Amino acid sequence: MTRFSQATPDPLRPRGPRDNDTSRRQFLKLLSAGAGAAAATRLDGPPAQAQATGPVKLGVLTIRAGIAAPVGAAGLRATEWWAERVNKAGGILGRPVQLVVEEESNPKDTVERYRKLVLQDQVEVVLGGISTGVTLALGPVAEDLGTPWLSWDGTTQKGVEETMPNPKWTFKSVDNEVEAIVAGILTPKYFKGIKTVAGIGNDYSYGHDCWESYQAVLKRYIPDVKFVLELFPKLGVTDFTSHIAAIQQSKADLLMCSFWSGDATIIMKQAAAVGLFKTMKGVFTTAGGVHDSLKKEFTPEGLLLGYNTMYFDDPKASPLLKQFVHEYKAKYNEYPPYECDHAFFDAESYKVAVEKAAGAGKKWPEKAQVVKALEGLEIESLSGRRSWREDHVQMCNFYQGITTHKNAYDFVTISPIEIVSTKQAMKPAGSKLFDWINGWKV
Amino acid sequence: MQKIFNLACGSFYALGAYVGVSAVGWYVGAGGPPALFIVPLAVAGLAVGAVGVVVERGLLRFVYDRDETFQLLMTFAVVLMMEDAIRLTWGTAPRSTGGLYLAYGQVRILGATAPVYNLIVIAASLAIALAIGWLLTRTAFGRIIRATADNRDMAEALGVDMRRVYAKVFTLGTALGTLGGALVIPATAAMSEMGIELIVEAFAVVVIGGLGSMRGAFVGALAVGILRSIAISVYPELEMLLIYLIVIAVLVVRPRGLFGGAEA
């Protein structure tokens, strides 16, 4: 998903402690190896030889600061959980997994850190990338450096259109606007007689793209629907009182909101304070990203709420998801959001692809062989079966549903649960989004 | 008064917000009645203002006589350090006081529903503004503050202990910032970057109202708040633009701001 164009537009910001840990550890290792000569051998030696045995290094890029830091934390936690699990079971082809974590911040610095992961740390694969503002810049670099990169949540879309239709090394997240399309499909099913709609989203690509896509889809189902208000407060705003007043004034039948971070919680609370949803229906395409902060006290029942690709409380959850949710809760006292699923899928699909490419001989495969094995690969992720489309885009299910208070938590969950596949709600490879939507038979 | 341009005011606001959330969390956890949550919130918000002494005595006093650039750089460094300190202490996820915002219910005023808590905050702001006005105009300490702001050397020559006055005034300012952060938090959520957001808006308020003028800050804040709300209702795209157009207009037509002193 596109989140925002600049995660942390701040070159002065110090990097996370993990980076320093890693480099310090490596430095100490080099020291303990004895002398400069040893170091030189290590750094100059051919990577294939140096890495065919011993731990396999996986680079991880994650947001650590700013408004998306909780999203980054969730992705990293799931990757660490995966690595622990894989290492307990004997690693990948017998090699233990070692994560080298770097920070995703603004595009320029993140590209530098990506280069460092590939060239200096000599990782086998890079996992991660959340903001499309950043990953749009990473795509060409990944192609240039010839090491597979599996994005968690970032795409190489400009607006709603693809900029890298045939990548070799780049593997991208689902298209940014899918959850808005899913919400557009579900809106007429759950909310009858909607004639006027107001929209609010963050003032950057993701907010605008979701609103455009949602309108296009809804118009297909309700041709005479009127969009009476659109608001795009900038990212980081914490007071929506005036926006809510304007929404009330618009007297729309329904509010569509694509907030996905702390701002989703805030607008919910401030809307409840003036009783907004007593007179208006609500669609929150992405607020499931902060689902456990949507407390029952201020989040009404009857809203359409999107959880992206993973719903922690799915009654049909696989044993894998149940175990993950249980251990995540025990360790962090939180219930995991969807970013965990993107991250787990990337890491696990890499492992399966390496094993598949190695074949019966169990010889560690070349990077290009791993890429081949990833194309079209379907595996078991936290949320169920997920796959890589041939053009390197994630295929998965989206979970949305109607908020309910009937659960054991202090926050809302959804019932009924709607599961919509990217096969239905994502534009096919090579097509233009709005042409594709306008071509639907509804 | 201190002729210092302090960017860290935003960080104090954020700090007050986080400490307020923690205090309320602790209070509710200890079984305190929800209706009184505003007491620990306000007390914690005021108490953490004591950090002002540390910043003033530990850092700012070294740059009073330096160029404004040094002051800006140093207070910006404080902003970055505080942001990371907050992240280390409270983590990266937004923190909120749950549904306590609605603990006092809602009232209908002129056909609109408003949460009672908002009215309490408005009343508290007015009370604070009046109290500061009283302090500045009716007390000996207020006269010393105004005298110092007017002519520091003369005040010092007349026996005013500058160090004490500076420490007190800065701590008072800090406490107002932290209290503001704490009071606003039930309606929203604490996020580590909220300080920087505030600095930008505060800058617009101060330019419009006039640097160094309390009345100016009051009127500037009201003007910015009301104009933003009107812009969002009438023509949302204008929201930020309008504020900065006014800032530019003020800078061009009346550079000292609506209420600024002649030399500001």
Q: For residue A40, what pLDDT is reported?
A: 41
Q: For residue B68, what pLDDT is reported?
A: 82
Taking each helix axis from N to C terminus, what angle separates A107-115 and A132-145, rounded to the nearest 10 degrees?
30
Q: For residue B151, what pLDDT is reported?
A: 87
Report the alpha-carbon angle A17-B196-B74, nearest 5.
75
Q: For residue B261, what pLDDT is reported?
A: 63
- Cα distances (angstroms) measured from residue B122 to each of A216, A320, B125, B129, B184: 42, 51, 5, 11, 10
* pLDDT of A22 above 50: no
Instruction: Give chain B positions within 8 Å (CB) of A236.
Output: 191, 193-194, 197
CA-nearest residue of chain B to A298? B99
Q: Of B6-20, B34-48, B246-260, where does mean pLDDT reach its minimum? A: B246-260
Of A240, A297, A252, A305, residue with least CA distance to A279: A252
CB contact under 8 A, A295 and B239: no
Report the Cα A19 to chain-centroid distance in Å: 22
Mean of pLDDT over chain B: 89
* pLDDT of A300 above 50: yes
B 179-218 residues with CB < 8 A to A = 184, 187-189, 191-194, 197
A433 Cα to chain B: minimum distance (Å): 26
Confidence of residue A249 (pLDDT cuts 50, 70, 90): very high
Report the Cα A83 to chain-centroid distance in Å: 19
* pLDDT of A241 above 80: yes
Q: By three-state DSSP, how is residue A224 classified?
A: coil
CB contact under 8 A, B101 and A73: no
Look at B114 and A29; give whichever has higher pLDDT: B114
Q: For residue A111, what pLDDT is reported?
A: 97
Q: By three-state DSSP, how is residue A377 classified?
A: coil
* pLDDT of B194 above 60: yes
CB proximity B262 to A under 8 Å? no
* pLDDT of A328 above 80: yes
| pLDDT tens digit sequence for A109-150 | 999 999 999 999 999 999 999 999 999 999 999 999 999 999
CA-nearest residue of chain A to B116? A273
Instruction: Give chain B positions within 8 Å (CB) of A234.
Output: 240
A338 Cα to chain B: minimum distance (Å): 15
CB contact under 8 A, B102 and A13: no
Q: For residue B197, what pLDDT is reported?
A: 81
Cβ atoms of B12 and B60 closer than 8 Å: no
CB proximity B84 to A under 8 Å? yes
A109 Cα to chain B: minimum distance (Å): 18
| pLDDT tens digit sequence for A141-159 | 999 999 999 999 999 999 8
Cβ atoms of A172 and A130 closer than 8 Å: no
Instruction: Give chain B positions within 8 Å (CB) of A297.
Output: 98-99, 102
Confidence of residue A44 (pLDDT cuts 50, 70, 90): very low
- Cβ atoms within 10 Å of B125's Cβ, excluding its own: 14
Confidence of residue B93 (pLDDT cuts 50, 70, 90): confident
Separation between Cα atoms, residue B205 and residue A432, nearest integer Å: 46
Q: For residue A408, what pLDDT is reported?
A: 96
Q: Which two tokens stand for residue A57?
A: 């290094």
Average pLDDT over residues A408-429: 96
Radius of gyration of chain A (CA): 22
Q: For residue B262, what pLDDT is reported?
A: 53
Report the alpha-carbon angle B221-B222-B223, nearest 5.
90
Confidence of residue A45 (pLDDT cuts 50, 70, 90): very low
CB contact under 8 A, A265 and B94: yes
- Cα distances (angstroms) measured from residue A55 to each of A98, A99, A128, A209, A328: 6, 10, 20, 42, 26
CB proximity B119 to A under 8 Å? no
Confidence of residue B98 (pLDDT cuts 50, 70, 90): confident
Q: For residue B92, what pLDDT is reported?
A: 77
CA-nearest residue of chain A to B189? A266
Q: For residue A9, what pLDDT is reported?
A: 37
Q: For residue B263, what pLDDT is reported?
A: 46
Average pLDDT over residues A228-232: 96
* pLDDT of A281 above 90: yes
Instruction: Give chain A positions within 8 Å (CB) of B98.
Output: 295, 297, 410
Cβ atoms of B67 and B5 closer than 8 Å: no
Confidence of residue A19 (pLDDT cuts 50, 70, 90): very low
What is this structure's pTM? 0.85
Q: By three-state DSSP, how is residue A397 classified?
A: strand
Walk me through the domains of chain A, giving residue ranges and CATH numbers. Answer: 17-174+336-394 (3.40.50.2300), 178-308+397-438 (3.40.50.2300)
CB contact under 8 A, B113 and A66: no
- Could you report the predicted ipTM of this complex, rounded to two decimals? 0.85
Report the Cα B106 to chain-centroid distance in Å: 26
**Helix (H) / strand (E) containing A414:** strand A413-421
Instruction: Give chain A positions within 8 Å (CB) of B232.
Output: 231, 242-243, 245-246
CB proximity B1 to A under 8 Å? no
Instruction: Give chain A positions within 8 Å (CB) of B99.
Output: 269, 295-298
Q: For residue B49, what pLDDT is reported?
A: 95
| pLDDT tens digit sequence for A6-15 | 433 333 333 3
* pLDDT of A222 above 80: yes
Scored b (16 or more CB within 10 A) or e, A61-77 reads: bbbbbbbbbbbbbbbbb
Cβ atoms of B188 and B96 closer than 8 Å: yes
| pLDDT tens digit sequence for A88-103 | 999 999 999 999 999 9
Average pLDDT over residues A214-219: 98
CB contact under 8 A, A275 and B189: no
B5 Cα to chain A: minimum distance (Å): 20
CB contact under 8 A, A262 and B197: no
CB contact under 8 A, B193 and A236: yes
- Cβ atoms within 10 Å of B3's Cβ, excluding its own: 13
A156 Cα to chain B: minimum distance (Å): 27
Mean of pLDDT over chain A: 89
